[in-house]
Every structure is written in C-alpha cells, then in structure tokens.
Structure 1
Amino acid sequence: MWLSARHWRRQTVFFGGGLAVGSAAVVLAKGGDAAQWALERILSWWPTAPLVMTPLGYALAAYVTMRWFNGAQGSGIPQIIAANELPSTSKTRSDMVSMKVAIGKAFLLIFLLVCGASIGREGPSVQIGAALMLVAGRLGGIRREGALLLAGGAAGVAGAFNTPLAGVIFAIEELGRRYEQRTNGTVILAVMLAGVASVILAGNYTYFGRSAANLSGWPDVLAVLVCGVAGGALGGLFSQLLVWGIVNFPRRWGGWTYRRMAFFAGACGLVVGIIGLATNGATFGTGYAQAKDIIQVTSNLPWYFGPLKLIVTLLSSMCGIPGGLFAPSLSAGAGFGHALEPFLPMVPPATVALLGVVGYFSGVVQSPLTAFVIVMEMTGDHNMMLPLMATSLLGYAVSRMVCKYPIYHAIAHSMIWNATRNEGLTIQHRGSAGEASEEM
C-alpha cells in the first residue's frame, strides 16, 4: 500500500481538501469582517439606509437563492444532515453539496451582511467545507461520501471558530447521529488540517478573547440554574418558532414561489432594518462585537438587546436567505446573560454573560456537548469547564420540553420529506427526528 501511487494520490488530495476547508473558512471570516466594516461606513454616510437597503437586499437574495442557488437557504447544517440520508442519485442532494451552491452561498452571505442581515458564517462554513471535501474525495477516488461530508462539515466549524475539539464533537453529536466508528480518523485528520490552515492564515486566537469569568462559591451555583433554565427556555422557544416558520408556514401559505419568497423576505428585512435603526445598529450582522464586549464587561447595551437579537435572527433565518445561526445565537445568549446580571448581583457580570451564552446556545441547537466545548474554546477559559457543562446540559433539558426535536434535524427531515415527494425517492432510514416534518 505504501508504494502505491494511487494511495498517495488519494492521501495528497484529501490533505489538500482539509487545508482548503480551513482556508475557505478563514477567507469567509475575513469577507464577513469586511462586509460589516462596509455596513458601518454606509451607516455613517446614510443613517437611514437600512430602511431601503435591508428589505431590498433580503428580497433580492431570497429570489436569487431560490432561482439559481436552490439548496443554499439557511444555515447549511440541515443540508449536510439531509445529504447523508438522501441517496446519491437525488438531484436535491446533488444541489445541496455542489460547489455552485457553495460559492453562491458565500457571496450571498457577504452581500447580506453588508445589508445588515442578522446571520452568521459558521453554518455556511459547514456546507462549504462539506462541498470542498466532497470534491477533494472525488478527485482522490474516495467513495465514502458520508465520511467526507462529516469531515468537511467538522473542518468548517474548526476553521471558522479556530476550535478543533469542537469540530470533532460537532461531527459526532450534530452531523452524524448515525456516526460510524470507521470515520473517526477521517474526521479528526480533516479537522486537524483545517485547524492548521486557520492558524497559519489567522493566527492562534480565541474567538471572544480571554474571559474574566469565574465561580467562587456555592451561592454562584444559582447563576448556573438561572442561566440554564432561562437560556434553555428561550432557546427552545426560538427553535420551535423557527421550525414552524420553515416547515409549516410555507405549506399553509400554499408553498413558495419566486415572487412570494421575495415579498416575504423583503417584509422580514424591513422589520430587521427598523429594529437595527432603533438599536443604533447593534442588532445588525453577526453580533460578534456585541457579544465580545458583553463577555469582556465593556458593553453599555440595553437589557432588551437579547430579545431583539432573537427576533431579527428568527426573521432572517425563516425567510429563505443564506446565513447561519451560531454567531447570532451566541450574541443573543450574551444579551440574555447581560439582562440577568441585575438579578444576580453577587455573581461577576462576565460569569453571568458567559453562562447566558452557553445556556441559550445549547437551547437553540440542542447539542449540549458541542455548545459547551465551542464556548469554552472560544474564550480559552478552562476554569469554567464544569459550570459551562452544567449550564449547557440544563439548557438542553429545558429546551427539549419546549421544542421536541433538534432544530437542524427537524429542518433536515423536512428537506428529506420534500425531496422524496418531489423526486419519488424511498428512504430506508428515518431517525426519531424524521417524523418531525410530519408532526410540525
């Protein structure tokens, strides 16, 4: 095997795929930062621009996505989950993991951030990473497409956040509920290579900087309970509303046409623009800067920042435009933690904010290990390991009482249901979340 030219060609192509995914995640991050800088300049020249620019941008992006890049809608994580269950002959599956859709998603994401959309780039990095890894695997003659999709998606998370451990946990817990032991090496190697590319291009940084959070005694355990219960309930409410908006609302409205989708997206964009103006632009974009300021205790945002960020993220996610949930959810969670600080005066503000982040984020994605590891790696704060884990697990448990099915899997199985209906496919495996699209 070690003397086989075919073996080394496959390994070389695969290594290149891992490095390409990490590089793409960094390029997308830089593009997102440039887009938010451009939005700030536009607002300084024309303060009321979002009343025109945001609804028109939403409408145009929704139309272009549905017309030419169908499969690029939303986060990108449900697409990879669905692609793992759909047969390789499915046109829907091919669209979801095609390079055409991946490239279109990247450009539309940056365009929407300039328009003020409350979306993140981490979910799209998963879909783009999976598409890149699939291309690399095909060039190298690797036929295990399921493992390639998992590896590419995990590498996308690792490259986007510079959190390699979170990438592995994410692949196991979120993307691969039917995870096979033989994919371990594929995923870990891809994540490692993506992490190397991220460090080379962007440096070894922590996403939110270093946190001053700490728990000093038994009274502070109250903060874990409050943030876990409140964050989980709010995260579950967000997920339930979003699943209803994506799965049920189009059916009750008679399905989407290009015109209806553009009109609905424009209406959502108008509300997002009005809320953004009312908060002096705080709710626009990923929310990365606002979350970092709250965690670093340098923010003067009002208590209602978290609820408003939830609303604009909900509207942005259900109107058919490309964009992820990770960063906006982390920002909203920080906002909710910030709002809880007056009720926990004996607990350091940074601690409440960080617990609010993990409680709400775990409630939204219902992947407690991924949520805990991502937040821990983003802050580099290992002293908060046990409180973060406890809050994440509590948030997950409370969220499941509000929203029965994990959000990404419920949306993914709605996609599978639509594909089987439109293409006449038969799917052998339907997980417990598979019935979500029929019940909701």
Structure 2
Amino acid sequence: MNTTRTVRVLRVLRYRYASPKLWWRQGLFWGGAMLVAAIAIGFASGADYAGRLFRLMTDGRPWLPFLLAPAGLAISVQLTRSVFPGAQGSGIPQTIAALHLTDSATIDRILSLRVAVGKVVLTLLGLACGASIGREGPTVQIGAALMNALGRAARVPSVDVQRALVLAGGAAGVSAAFNTPLAGVVFAIEELSHSFESRTSGTVFTAVILAGATTLALLGNYTYFGQTSSDLPLGVAWIAVPACSLAGGLLGGFFSWSLIHAARGFRGKAGQFVQRHPVAFAALCGLALAVFGFVSGGQSYGTGYGQARALVAGAVHLPAAYAVLKCAATIVSYISGIPGGIFAPSLSVGAGIGATLAKFIPAAPAGAMVLLGMVAYFSGVVQAPITATVIVMEMTDNQTVTIPLMATAMLAFAISRMVCTRPLYGALADRFLSAQTRGH
C-alpha cells in the first residue's frame, strides 16, 4: 500500500516539476510578465516624448492648440472606429469585463493584440495633441491582452487559468506603470477581480514580482512622484483630513458621475448628433480642451504628471482653479471617445486640490496636504480606498502619513458614494458587457 502511494506521489511530482510542457508554459508566463514591464517602460517614455512634443509645438503659439486638439482628437476617434475598434477609453473596464466573460472568442476580441497596439499608438497621439489622459489604464489592458495571447499560445488547460493570466497581466501593468508592486496586487484584489482566490493568488504575485524586478533592473529603484518626508502631526493639523476628504470626494464623485452618464449617451438632439457624427463631436471636445488649456495657461494639457510631481516636491504654485480645469479637461478628453486613462490626471487633480486647500490650513504642512488631496480625489474617482492609499504611499515613498491617508481615503470614498452610487470602473464595465451582448 505504501509503495503504491509513493509511486503516485512521484508521478505527481514528475508531472509538476519534470514536465517539459509545464516548464514551457511557466517560462512563457514569466517571460510575458517581464515583457509587460518592458512595454510599460517603453510606453512611459513614449508618453513623455509625446508630451514634450506638444509643448514644443505650442510654445509661444497659444493659438495652435485650437487647431491641433480638435484635429488630433477627430483623427484618433476615426482611427479607433475604423482600425482599432474596442481601443477607446481607459482599458480597465474592458479588462474587468473580460474577467467576467466565458466566451473565449469575445474575450480574445476585447483583449486582442490589435487593440493593445491601438492603445499605445492612439494614446500617444492624444498626448501629442494635448489631451488630458494617462497611459496607466491602457497599460492594464495591454498587460491583460499580452497575457491572454500567451495563454492561448500555450493552450492553458482551463478557463480559470486563462482568467488568472488576464488578472495577472492587468496587475503587472499597474505594477510596472507606477513601479508600485504592492499597489498592483491590491488593485487586482480591490478593483479588477473583487476577490483573491487561492488558485489565482500565486499567478498574480509572480507576475507582479517579475514585472517589478524588470522595472527595477531597467530603471532602478525610483519613485513615481519622487520622495517626500512630509508628516501630519496629530492635533489641529488633522483638520486637513476632513477638508481634503470633502473636496476630493465631492469632485471625484462628480467626475465619476459625469463619465457614467456620458457612457449611457446624451439625450435629445445632442445624443443624436453624437451618434451620427462621432468624429465631429470629438473635434468639438478638442476645441473645449483648447479653451481649458488657454484659461489654465497650458497647465491642463497632458497627463499632469509634471504638475503633480512638482506639487509633491513643493517646487511650483499653480492657480487655484487648476484642479477644476484639469478635471474638466479630463472629462472632455474621455467622453470624446479617444483611448486614454484617468490615473495620472486624477492624481494631478488631487494634488491641485491639496495645494489649494493648504493655503487655508496653515497648521498642516503643504506637502502632506498635497498627498491627502491626491488620495482623496483618487479614492473619490475610483471608489477603491485601499488601492488609493497604497498607490499614493508607494509612489511617494512616504509611510509616515499612512494613517491620515487611510482616513482620508475612506472618508472621501463615503462622500463620493453620496454623489455617485456606483464605482466608475464597475459601471463602465457593465455598460461594456451590455454593449457586447447587444452586439451578438
């Protein structure tokens, strides 16, 4: 009896650890996670270059965005509809939708490599034309698409394993985009899957570790928004927590509410115009984008990364209206139908909120106020307070304000829910799933 049991154990061990097919799949998966990181790094460099190109073209020519933004957004929407269908928007709702589907053909269409290429090309085009978009959300869909393609190539044995690969690809995309490994795992739990099953946990952890190690090897141990040692001493300075929570939660909730209602479609003649003339509507959005850029002195264009990083370092003072104008520019960019995310612009809006409120709360350090504003608005937008806390904490390498960040994120989340009753990504994912059902 013991001999038979030993033989069975040896066979299992041989299958698990000596099977060439298994090692091929594992190697493909490990290589995919590292490739996701490399693509994310290249995408980040491309986004920086596109932003610099826009600033170079418009420097000393404040009239040029009034031509460049409408034309660029119109071209982007036309290419999205004709060449890269399914590439519009952030990419996170599409990834969430794919995780809830069982039809492999539909999943392959949502997470196709064509869509991934479109995300990169058209996001860079949008940034080169001044759109207020980020590349982090698209990186999530790119990572999920790459892992999905590798899973199909390796012929993984079950739908659950394929789903785990998609989830791991999305988490690796967040980890590599921000160089925040812990945030990648938390985002996978809190936002992408809303669960953390034991059969997927090892896959997600491995992908995040490999993506993080690749980023570390290629770029070194950097922090996305630099380092800050700002603290929030217990006492009167803590008035900053409810102040930032209220402002960030209200504005973040309004932002989410706006995008959700826009996704449902405009009513009346406006809705008919958008349906019949989507390219012309994108051009009008580009015109509005140029107006916001002109009023903000050019600060509302692009990802907002430079402004947020400078605010964290205390190296710049932006107009009090910056947060509102950046929020409006991001709404207009998103509803135009071009590919692009909202992560970096949202963090920039939050930084602007914190910097503005710091002028009215002298008891609280300005640096700490910027961090609280970031976590408040981001939590208000995505309604994922744990992810918001971890991602801001990791991006600034500051653990001294962990408790204030957590408190602010939770309060902002509660306030945002009063304005927008549904989480943004979940609502957009449901809308996307409904559209897929109607299309078939």
- The two structures share one fold, judged by TM-score above 0.5: yes
Matches within 5 A, 1:119-130: 119-130=133-144
Q: Report the CA distance between 1:157 and its aligned residue.
A: 0.2
Match of 2:437 in 1: 420
CA distance in 2, matches of 1:411, 1:306: 24
Q: Report the CA distance between 1:278 and its aligned residue.
A: 2.5
Match of 2:76 in 1: 61
Could you tell me which of 37, 51, 70 is aligned with 2:52? 37
Match of 2:174 in 1: 157
Q: Report the CA distance between 1:180 and its aligned residue.
A: 2.4
Matches within 5 A, 1:298-309: 298-309=315-326
The letter for the 1-side match of 2:126 is L
Match of 2:332 in 1: 315
Match of 2:296 in 1: 279
Please state if 1:77 is matched with 2:92.
yes
Match of 1:137 in 2: 151
Q: Report the CA distance between 1:249 and its aligned residue.
A: 2.2
Q: Which runs of 5+ in 1 are unaligned?
A: 424-440
Q: Report the CA distance between 1:228 and its aligned residue.
A: 1.1
The letter for the 2-side match of 1:351 is A
CA distance in 2, matches of 1:250, 1:193: 47
The letter for the 1-side match of 2:405 is L
Q: Report the CA distance between 1:358 and its aligned residue.
A: 0.3
The letter for the 2-side match of 1:87 is T
CA gap of 1:224–1:150, structure 2 versus 1, over 3 A, is: same
CA gap of 1:292–1:120, structure 2 versus 1, over 3 A, is: same
Is the 1:362–1:368 Cα contact (8 Å) retained in structure 2? yes
Match of 1:197 in 2: 214
CA distance in 2, matches of 1:80, 1:125: 11
**Deviation string for 1:34-77 (max 9, x for gaps)?**
11111121112643210100011011101110222111111100
Match of 1:437 in 2: none
The letter for the 1-side match of 2:31 is G
CA gap of 1:87–1:273, structure 2 versus 1, over 3 A, is: same
Matches within 5 A, 1:257-406: 257=275, 260-406=277-423
Could you tell me which of 171, 181, 199 is aligned with 2:188? 171
Matches within 5 A, 1:206-285: 206-249=223-266, 253-254=271-272, 257=275, 260-285=277-302
Q: Report the CA distance between 1:218 and its aligned residue.
A: 1.3
Identity of aligned residues (%): 47
Is the 2:176–2:215 Cα contact (8 Å) retained in structure 1? yes
Hey, which bits of structure 1, 4+ residues long, moved more than 3 A?
Answer: 254-257
Match of 2:115 in 1: 101
Please state if 1:12 is matched with 2:31.
no
**Deviation string for 1:392-412 (max 9, x for gaps)?**
111111111110110001011
Is the 2:346–2:377 Cα contact (8 Å) retained in structure 1? yes
CA distance in 2, matches of 1:98, 1:263: 27
Is the 1:13–1:139 Cα contact (8 Å) retained in structure 2? no
Match of 1:409 in 2: 426
Q: Report the CA distance between 1:181 and its aligned residue.
A: 2.4
Larger of the two Rg values belongs to structure: 2
CA distance in 2, matches of 1:333, 1:389: 15
Root-mean-square deviation (CA, aligned residues, Å) is 1.5
Is the 1:16–1:136 Cα contact (8 Å) retained in structure 2? no
Q: Which runs of 5+ in 2 are unaligned?
A: 1-14
CA gap of 1:82–1:250, structure 2 versus 1, over 3 A, is: farther
CA distance in 1, matches of 2:90, 2:133: 9
Please state if 1:180 is matched with 2:182.
no
The letter for the 2-side match of 1:247 is R
Is the 2:25–2:154 Cα contact (8 Å) retained in structure 1? yes
Q: Report the CA distance between 1:256 and its aligned residue.
A: 5.6
The letter for the 2-side match of 1:111 is L
CA distance in 1, matches of 2:64, 2:214: 37
**Deviation string for 1:259-317 (max 9, x for gaps)?**
61111111011111122123222111000010111111111211000000000001111
CA distance in 1, matches of 2:392, 2:386: 10
CA distance in 1, matches of 2:321, 2:228: 23
Is the 1:70–1:95 Cα contact (8 Å) retained in structure 2? no
Task: Say how many residue pairs are matched.
Answer: 421
CA distance in 2, matches of 1:256, 1:148: 37
